[in-house]
Amino acid sequence: MKDKTLLRTGIIGTVIAAVCCFTPVLVIAFGVAGLSAWLGYADYVLLPALAFFMGLTAYALYRRRRAADCCDTGSA
């Protein structure tokens, strides 16, 4: 997978998981859909997803930085 794709996926996933964790968006959406009984288990999915996407973003930034350092010719 390309570094740009990894970074984009990580950032988008982190933002979506953070919005669902820290705002009532998920509660409202589940309530409207009639699935509010599942909200007790949402933390078991959202918090690991947030950690995964944050890790993916960090890994993509690491790979991007490593590729930039590798290709740097030092002609400054």
pLDDT tens digits for range 16-68: 888 877 777 777 888 888 887 877 777 788 889 889 999 999 999 998 888 88
Q: What pLDDT is attached to residue 72?
A: 67
17 domain-assigned:
yes
72 domain-assigned:
no
74 domain-assigned:
no
48 domain-assigned:
yes
Q: Which helix (H) or strand (E) holds 25?
A: helix 25-33
41 domain-assigned:
yes
75 domain-assigned:
no
59 domain-assigned:
yes
- Domain membership of residue 51 as a residue range: 3-66
76 domain-assigned:
no
Question: What is the number of domains present in the chain?
Answer: 1
State the Cα–Cα distance between residues 53 and 14, nearest whole angstrom: 5
Q: What pLDDT is attached to residue 59?
A: 92
Q: What pLDDT is attached to residue 20?
A: 76
Q: What pLDDT is attached to residue 76?
A: 54
Q: Is the pTM of this model over 0.85?
A: no
